[in-house]
Structure 1
Amino acid sequence: MLLALLSAFALSQAYRTVTAIMATGLQADFALSPASLGAFAGLFGLSFGVTQFFMGIGMDLYGLRRTVLSAFPLAIAGAALSAWAPGYGWLMWGQLLIGVGCAPAFLACTVFIARHFPASRFAFLSGVGMGVGGLGLLLTGTPLAWLVQRSGWRSGFALLAVLSALAWLLIWRCVHEPAVAGPAP
């Protein structure tokens, strides 16, 4: 179950760094200034950070499975929107959706570890989770950079949308939580 959740976290890491390999194509296609490119890159972090608090509340109230399965489709939609964006405004909307959709990714992993493993294993398993999540950073290194160089930045967003949909399906299939007791009368 943890590996399924980590797949979303790895993709979150990929989305976080993808602007660096797409910058040249984005600037060329939309005539972006450095400030506009910076705003595009920063919107992921802003939307991600602003919604983290609400994702934590969602996990407490509805469970991490429901929260991730409800939020992560926004990342899929944002990546698809970005892949077919006709202009900079659409690209920004895509980035906003990606940030919100990825917001519960690592939080869900840490909550899962805290709930399902002994406290003495928390630091070790969180470290392993960070390491596995780092695979998303590796994805935006050579493999995705090669794809973007060969086929353009839109293909990079399209691939990330497909991988995100597969991660969502993996979470839907593999992650199950015990029923959460309702509030006391």
Structure 2
Amino acid sequence: MTTTDQRSERTLPRATFRVHPAWWVAAVTFLTIIGAAGFRATPGVMMNPLHDEFGWPMGVIGGAVSVNLLLYGLVAPFSAALMERLGVQRVVAGALVLVSIGSLLPIWMTASWQLVLSWGLLVGLGTGAMAMALVATVTGRWFVTSRGLVTGLLTAAGATGQLVFLPVLAWLAEHSGWRSAALATGAMALLVVPLVLWRLHDYPSDLGLTAYGAPAGTPVARPVRPDGRPVRLALEALRDAARTKVFWLLAGGFAICGISTNGLVGTHFIPAAHDHGMPLTTAAGLLALVGIFDIAGTVFSGWLTDRIDPRVLLGVYYTLRGASLLLLPSLFSDDLHVNMLAFIIFYGLDWVATVPPTIALCRQAFGDRAPIVFGWVFASHQIGAAIAATGAGLIRDQLGTYTPAWYIAGALCFAAAVMSMSILKRRVTIDSPLADGI
């Protein structure tokens, strides 16, 4: 099978630029992920207004969020393969349009299945095409030097964009109704499309360049598109990677990461805080603060990933996250206090700090097929998030409290730490048959 690491023998003339275009590509990718992340913030803000207006149980609304989270992950590996076939620019521009449509349709909905169709199906497909597989693809193609740092920056864009929008969307929902918040997210996604068409080039060779930091003498060659269909490429990567222990350890740990972030805290923190008497805008502001500190935490994690064994980093991140979740139920109250603020700051630093070392481990283990393999690892993240989004809602409906959900997630984080430290530091070649002992 022809793969993207193969290059045609024709080389291109080397171009010169004052600023390497890799940084422009990274900047547009950053803005793209932020634009798409506007919708990622809406479920936490809209759950209570939708419950109040339509009378739908939290479990039903959480179910729509679960469909979104599930598709957001499952689409990622196929999206990575589609980018290999059609190009990053086309896939991302189309995905942004799909996100905008899915964000606007709920304005006219009258039944819960329409919420599942728009929030779940359309936005899930669109955001899935711009998930972390996009980060792995862009950094893998455009950067050699500072790859971990750029991975951290782009990873921060998703979580930060999602959470920083929360106060604005919460204010709109409270003062102008939740439909105005839906209009805002649809507009944000569309605004990024012109930037994508202008600057998001597919390969450095499109501009007569090598990747940023590539060794001197590296030829500038046109990439050869893979021969297989995107679905086949994605499934073949899953088949081969699934024969290795490292894949299942990464996927299992990342599923727990999804449970403890997007699925639980990202979806249910605001309703849980509101249960204890905290105003929606205050709770949304706290979750937005997570996004602000996420910038520093994720960028620093990317910097550390270039210097420290990523397995160790994951072990530390998951252990500290688990301990903080066990403490969270005792921190809720009707007023903001120092202990809750300390939790928010810490959780922000740790929110998606796990992504740079996880991508690094995928790259170490699976080489040039890492973006597609990481797409599958990320799918496990969203499966975990979907389970938590629905499960925590059901716990709240049945028991009248979210407390058991926080304890379960904390315990699982300790398991993820053990799984991460169990990964063997060994390269896997998934283009050939694999030994069962890897």
TM-score using structure 1 length? 0.88
* Alignment match of 1:73 (pick from 97, 101, 117): 97
Q: How does 1:156-171 map to 2 (within 5 A)?
A: 156-171=181-196
1:12 is displaced (CA, Å) by: 3.7
- Do the aligned residues in 2 keep the contact of 1:43 with 1:99 (CA within 8 Å)? yes
Is 170-179 or 33-42 further displaced after alignment?
170-179
Q: Which residue of 1 aligns with 2:122?
A: 97
2:179 aligned with 1:154? yes
Moved over 4 A (4+): none
Determine helix, strand or coil for the equivalent of 2:33: helix
- Count of aligned pairs between the two proteins: 183
CA distance in structure 2 between the aligned counterparts of 1:102 and 1:33, rounded to whole angstroms: 25
* Alignment match of 1:113 (pick from 120, 126, 139): 139
The C-alpha deviation readout for 1:96-143, integer Å capped at 9, x for no partner, is 10110011223223311211111x411111111122333313333211
Q: Could you list the runs of 5+ residues in structure 1 that have no partner in the other structure? A: none
* Alignment match of 1:173 (pick from 169, 174, 198): 198
TM-score using structure 2 length? 0.39
* Alignment match of 2:45 (pick from 12, 17, 21): 21
Q: Please say which structure displays the higher CA radius of gyration.
A: 2
State the Cα RMSD in Å: 2.0
CA distance in structure 1 between the aligned counterparts of 2:183 and 2:165, rounded to whole angstroms: 13
1:182 is displaced (CA, Å) by: 4.5
Q: Specify whether residues 168 and 85 from structure 1 end up closer, same or farther in structure 2 by C-alpha distance, changes over 3 A only.
A: farther
Q: How does 1:2-81 map to 2 (within 5 A)?
A: 2-81=26-105
Identity %: 22
- Do the aligned residues in 1 keep the contact of 2:72 with 2:124 (CA within 8 Å)? yes
By relative contact order (CA 8 Å, sep 6+), the higher-ranking structure is: 1
- Do the aligned residues in 2 keep the contact of 1:16 with 1:44 (CA within 8 Å)? no
Q: Which residue of 2 aligns with 1:87?
A: 111
2:185 aligned with 1:142? no
